[in-house]
């Protein structure tokens, strides 16, 4: 099965930037997408962004469009989330996920294969 290890995150002031990384290892052939989710304090986990591993499509939830950028490096089996113009509402625990998904009409996940351990993002 696939294992995911996240890094990055931390604290930033509103308007600042942070970056997250997620390295996949193990059996990495089943998932076609990498996704980032976040869970704000006291709220449910929500999808933030997703990308096809082979390229060709991305998804962003409306609140982060134009501010966050998801990317994936196939050679390094690493997904990234660059977060700019951060807002206090971006505060939460961020998780990467290896999933099987389609992005043609929004993000539709048919199977979850693995989750990262989570990394805290705090914006003040």
The answer to whether 55 and 75 are in contact (CB under 8 A) is: no
Q: What is the pLDDT of residue 90?
A: 98
Task: Record the tokens describing residue 34, joined without a space.
Answer: 């990498």
The strand pair at 68-73 and 78-83 is best described as antiparallel
Give the CA dihedral 7, 12, 16, 21, nearest 10 degrees. 10
Task: Give yes or no for a contact between 13 and 96, defined as CB atoms under 8 angstroms apart.
Answer: no
Could you tell me which residues come within 8 angstroms of residue 64 by beta carbon, excluding any fewer than 6 positions away? Answer: 48, 49, 83, 90
Q: Return d(Cα 116, Cα 109) in angstroms, integer.
A: 16
Q: Residue 5 — very low, low, confident or very high, per pLDDT cuts 50/70/90?
A: very high
Each residue's pLDDT tens digit, 53-84: 988 899 999 999 999 999 999 999 999 999 99
The predicted structure's pLDDT at residue 1: 85
At 77 the pLDDT is 94
Average pLDDT over residues 88-115: 96
Whole-angstrom Cα distance, residue 86 to residue 101?
27
- Between 29 and 15, the more confident residue is 15
Report the C-alpha gap between 112 and 98 in whole angstroms.
6
């Amino acid at each position: 099965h696939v294992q995911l290890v996240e890094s990055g995150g931390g604290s930033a002031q509103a308007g600042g930037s942070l970056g997250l990384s997620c390295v996949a290892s193990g059996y990495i052939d089943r998932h076609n997408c990498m996704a980032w989710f976040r869970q704000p304090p006291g709220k449910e986990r929500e999808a933030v962004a997703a990308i096809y591993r082979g390229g060709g499509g991305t998804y962003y939830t409306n609140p982060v469009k134009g501010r966050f950028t998801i990317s994936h490096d196939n050679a390094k089996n690493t997904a990234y989330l660059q977060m700019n113009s951060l807002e206090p509402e971006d505060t939460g625990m961020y998780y990467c996920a290896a999933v099987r998904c389609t992005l043609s009409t929004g993000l539709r996940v048919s199977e979850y294969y693995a989750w990262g351990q989570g990394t805290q993002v705090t914006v003040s």
